[in-house]
Structure 1
Amino acid sequence: MALMEHALRQAEQDSGAPLLDQLDSVDIVYQLSWPYPDTEEQLCQRLGHRPQRVVLGPMGGESPLHYLHQAALAIARGECRVAAVVGAESRHTTERAAKQNLDLPWPPRDPAPKVRRGKDILHPLSLKHGILMPPTVYPFYENALPHRYGQTPRAAMEESGRLWARMARIAADNPYTWSERTPSAEEIITPTAENRAVAWPYTKWQVANPMVNQGAALLLTSAAVAREMGIPEERWIHLWGGAAAVEPEDYLQRDQFHRSHAQDTVLETALQWAGGDVGGFRHLELYSCFPCVPKMARRTLGLDEHFEPSVTGGLSFFGAPMNNYMTHAAAAMVRRLRDSAPGEGLLYGQGEYVTKHHAVVLSNRPPPAPLAEDYSVQAQADARRGPVPPLREHYQGPATLETFTALFNRAGEVDYAVVLALTPTGERLMARVPGSDRTSLNALLDPENSPIGLAGEAMPGEDDLLHFRVTTQRTANTKEAV
């Protein structure tokens, strides 16, 4: 709560105008490290002002951009004069206190926060297999991509390492960054005691780091109010527009795992503000909870591998204050655009399991057209979606590997893998490869050959779960796109 208040007061100071006393609307990014039972009330008490609208939002890494976009629309409609988006996390402190059995002298936390989480979204089969937390789910995409892009798994890992090394260097130049670490690409992808293997192919340094104390806030108002308050026009940053779409919440209900139709449609729509050429954007912020997200995004946008992916530094090195990273990214984009020649910046955020996608375009120039009320591109995304393989929970027989995830223990050994596979009749299976099946695990984790498309056999296993073993080797990667 103190971080949120401080960030709002810093935002007011940055504006040079007494805006907080005029707040009409506040969107609070849902906080996880210390959820309060009365977040809205406590924030109003700290500010000494009660806006007519104060809302604590739902979960989602894209949510700050959604709130930013909605606030801009409300101002454009004349529904409010000054709006704020604010969020903060303190998991670094809460985790350390828990390990030391310390009681923090803070207001009571909500014992039963009413928020939908993975267990409320995913199929019970995912929960039985233990594939619930994001680091275990995103590898379904990460491991499908090398096959689609015509890469070996090693080449894909090296691309991730180079991308994350650039993130680390960007984070090092951000005064608000959490980590001062700037490892090399090779160090990022190589498991060590400090950088342990988490889920193939991710090491700890490729995973979003939520163990931070970070807060951020944005203030919005109209051009008329900004003039009235004497805010110099050279400090104005305009929201031109944006786009949003979602994938099915349950990842087992998706048609494939080598692209996101919602992501593609959102980013292609955002490109229209750059004249159809990503080079029209001076700055980019591509969400970076795991490497597969900006790797897919850069191909959709037509970027070469050496692009600058962030103005903030990414969730592994700048820090990952749970749902609130994109508030920090928007603040960083504002600072960058104020110091830039005339031009635009693209902010792209994502939430849940490659599920919710939102992009907005900011600029240091006035918009070429009024802000569009309808920014959903859901219909276009849905039109691209292919048939979803029906899920079959009980089966014995041949199946072809669709994608997989493999989980490591603290000793750096594979506990087990979970595969998604397709039967000869096109049904989808979720099955476990136990840690004792070294032959199958070696085939899955071969850095020189993608296992996607390998033939295997599914059979009943322990705990009423299907098991899977690889029966044949793939002879070559298939190159679809680079």
Structure 2
Amino acid sequence: MGDRTPVLIGAGQFTYRGDPGVSPSPTALLKIAAERAAEDAGIGAKGLAGIDGLAVVGFTIDAPGSKRGMIPHSTNPPANLAARIGAAPRWSVYSEMGGNTPQYLINTLAERIARGETDLALAVGCEFLGSATKRATRGLSFDDWKAGEPEDLPPPQRIGDPRPGNTAYEARHGLDRPINIYPLFENALRARDGRSIPDHQRRMGELFSRFSKVAAGNPEAWFPVERSAEELVTVTEKNRMIGFPYPKLLNAIMEVDQSAAVLVASEAKARELGVPESHWVYLHGCADASDLWHPLDRQNFHSSPAMELTGQRAFEMAGIGLSDIDLIDLYSCFPVAVEIGAEALGLSLDDPRGLTVTGGLPYAGGPGNNYVMHSVAVMLQKLRQKPGAYGLITGNGWYLTKQSTGIYSTKRPDRPFERQDPAVLQRQIDALPHPEIVERPSGAAVIETYTVVHKREGPFMAIVVGRDGAGRRFVANTPQDPALLASMETSEQVGRKGTVSHSEDGLNLFIPG
């Protein structure tokens, strides 16, 4: 295989829990994680300055439609970080949005190394909404973040798919954020399986209680607290409903201050730098693909062809099977991401190996697009402690849309690293049949899936995805009737019939029969 085999040589994480008024800037968070990765690899500041590839995960505040523009940050995070660590990488990129991004970047860097285009690369990301939000709401200064941040940097080269995750039609009816969209998948999955609402709530609580137990043992977790299944799903003042069926404690927590970084090198470069082989972890298999892009385009709301196909491809590339896996971290922004991911991979929710190594996004922390960098960093350490074992990681972006998978081990691969062009899987997925969409439905209709969206004061809007008499899919809202909204959380609505109409303001209204 030669010396071009890519290998992960170091990883670092950082969690800041101090005074938000003196919290590290975004660039400082990136730098701390990068330096910790270099320390872990044993290459120090000089080795870190020698990177010739740099990939920075996009900040959440740079997402399309973000309203957090008042929070200052670098106009070119890769260039600013490179200057801070004394590096001059030949290839430097800033990613588009998506929780799949860290694994996607590692897959890309490994491919570049195998091709001889890069020798030593840094993948790094952070989130800072925890302290940034507190500074903004309390009127605290950001002057220390601005100090030393050049304002005239050219825009960075971007990598990834820049398309917004939803259409204007979807957004008009509330399908414009994860907390409103993932519940659609959860309720559809429950109805498909024929579980009662109380039984399904218990199932979600039991699943994520196991995640919280792992977080309790993770020193970098944002909430290192074990919680019972009942605590997670019981609605209280502190655990209010967000989007039915998810109380607050079942939602990813994004307002954190966390960073993580991974160093990837060729075997030749790792030897040149003196990194001990006991520190080496190989990427044995990987794959990237997206499901049909917009939520309304999906074949259904209880499966993910992209999760299934990227999993299959990663195992084929690695030359192993699911039974060979020892450690697992499934993307866990909401319970349904784990439930659908496990089903796509052939895992049971109570698999004795466990489904997370970090504790998951609601408890370890869901730092914007960078969570998977943390799961890779933890996986790296666990695999070093268990030589020859295999670890599986999945990443998910937008609304069960973008999927990336990676399989890791300290064992040296017995074949060259050859990443399949993601377009191969994408052609398969894009060719899948899916329902016709109608934007101006009228007449008899039936609910395919739904959610009830809450404010602090209580429920204020229901979102219904339904089919009209011709089988075409639409999205609509219901009347804002408190009794109706309350009933939609206590009795199954999937399959309920009614009528739908279109108003001049561009909104569809579904009235249950």
Deviations 1:401-430 (A, max 9, x none): 11112101202x210101011112111121
- After superposing the two structures, state which structure 1 stretch, 209-218 or 421-430, moved more: 421-430
The answer to whether the 8 A contact 1:118-1:132 is kept is no
Cα separation, 2, equivalents of 1:202 and 1:109: 42
1:344 matched to 2:370: no
Are the structure 2 counterparts of residues 14 and 359 from structure 1 closer, same or farther at C-alpha, using a change threshold of 3 Å?
Answer: same
Corresponding residue to 1:30 among 26, 36, 58:
58
Are the structure 2 counterparts of residues 148 and 268 from structure 1 closer, same or farther at C-alpha, using a change threshold of 3 Å?
Answer: farther
Give the match for residue 269 of structure 2.
225
Corresponding residue to 1:8 among 18, 22, 34:
34
Cα separation, 1, equivalents of 2:114 and 2:168: 44
The alpha carbon displacement at 1:215 in A equals 0.6
Deviations 1:273-309 (A, max 9, x none): 6766423111011001111111011122222221211
The alpha carbon displacement at 1:349 in A equals 0.1
The alpha carbon displacement at 1:375 in A equals 4.6
1:296 matched to 2:331: no
The alpha carbon displacement at 1:201 in A equals 0.3
Written as runs of structure 1 = structure 2, the 5 A alignment for 1:123-134 is 123-134=167-178
Corresponding residue to 1:457 among 499, 502, 506:
499
Corresponding residue to 1:21 among 27, 39, 49:
49
Aligned residues: 465
Give the match for residue 418 of structure 2.
372
The answer to whether the 8 A contact 1:35-1:109 is kept is no
Deviations 1:36-74 (A, max 9, x none): 213222112211121111211111111111110111111
Deviations 1:111-149 (A, max 9, x none): 9x9999999442222222232111001111111001222
Cα separation, 2, equivalents of 1:186 and 1:334: 33
Cα separation, 1, equivalents of 2:482 and 2:141: 45
The one-letter code sitting in structure 1 at the alignment partner of 2:450 is F
Normalising by structure 1, what TM-score?
A: 0.91
Cα separation, 2, equivalents of 1:220 and 1:392: 47
Cα separation, 1, equivalents of 2:506 and 2:404: 39
Normalising by structure 2, what TM-score?
A: 0.85
Deviations 1:170-193 (A, max 9, x none): 111111111133221111111111
Give the match for residue 206 of structure 2.
162
Give the match for residue 87 of structure 2.
49
The one-letter code sitting in structure 2 at the alignment partner of 1:185 is A
Corresponding residue to 1:382 among 414, 422, 430:
430
The answer to whether the 8 A contact 1:274-1:281 is kept is no
The answer to whether the 8 A contact 1:266-1:359 is kept is yes
Deviations 1:4-60 (A, max 9, x none): 111111111111124213200000001135542132221122111211112111111
The alpha carbon displacement at 1:341 in A equals 4.2
SS of residue in 1 equivalent to 2:477: strand
Cα separation, 1, equivalents of 2:450 and 2:184: 5
Written as runs of structure 1 = structure 2, the 5 A alignment for 1:148-227 is 148-227=192-271
Corresponding residue to 2:142 among 81, 92, 104:
104
Instruction: Give 5+ residue unaligned stretches, structure 2.
Output: 1-26, 62-71
Are the structure 2 counterparts of residues 109 and 189 from structure 1 closer, same or farther at C-alpha, using a change threshold of 3 Å?
Answer: farther
1:362 matched to 2:400: no
Are the structure 2 counterparts of residues 272 and 373 from structure 1 closer, same or farther at C-alpha, using a change threshold of 3 Å?
Answer: closer
Give the match for residue 291 of structure 2.
247
Corresponding residue to 2:182 among 126, 133, 138:
138
Cα separation, 2, equivalents of 1:378 and 1:125: 24
The answer to whether the 8 A contact 2:479-2:511 is kept is no
The answer to whether the 8 A contact 2:450-2:463 is kept is yes
Corresponding residue to 2:468 among 418, 423, 427:
423
The answer to whether the 8 A contact 2:215-2:360 is kept is yes
Are the structure 2 counterparts of residues 329 and 101 from structure 1 closer, same or farther at C-alpha, using a change threshold of 3 Å?
Answer: same
The answer to whether the 8 A contact 1:63-1:323 is kept is yes
The answer to whether the 8 A contact 2:50-2:88 is kept is no
The one-letter code sitting in structure 1 at the alignment partner of 2:202 is E
The one-letter code sitting in structure 1 at the alignment partner of 2:38 is E
SS of residue in 1 equivalent to 2:406: strand
Cα separation, 2, equivalents of 1:268 and 1:354: 17
The answer to whether the 8 A contact 1:119-1:127 is kept is no
The answer to whether the 8 A contact 2:125-2:260 is kept is yes
SS of residue in 2 equivalent to 1:316: coil
Sequence identity (%): 32
SS of residue in 2 equivalent to 1:353: coil
The one-letter code sitting in structure 1 at the alignment partner of 2:389 is G
Over aligned residues, Cα RMSD in angstroms?
Answer: 2.4
The answer to whether the 8 A contact 2:292-2:298 is kept is yes
Cα separation, 2, equivalents of 1:465 and 1:437: 20
Cα separation, 1, equivalents of 2:387 and 2:403: 28
Deviations 1:63-115 (A, max 9, x none): 1111101111111111111011011111111111111111212126989x999
The answer to whether the 8 A contact 1:35-1:110 is kept is no
Give the match for residue 444 of structure 2.
398
Are the structure 2 counterparts of residues 241 and 205 from structure 1 closer, same or farther at C-alpha, using a change threshold of 3 Å?
Answer: same
Are the structure 2 counterparts of residues 104 and 341 from structure 1 closer, same or farther at C-alpha, using a change threshold of 3 Å?
Answer: same
1:94 matched to 2:139: no
- After superposing the two structures, state which structure 1 stretch, 421-430 or 450-459, moved more: 450-459
Cα separation, 2, equivalents of 1:128 and 1:325: 29
Give the match for residue 510 of structure 2.
468
Cα separation, 2, equivalents of 1:393 and 1:304: 38
Are the structure 2 counterparts of residues 119 and 202 from structure 1 closer, same or farther at C-alpha, using a change threshold of 3 Å?
Answer: farther
The answer to whether the 8 A contact 1:242-1:375 is kept is no
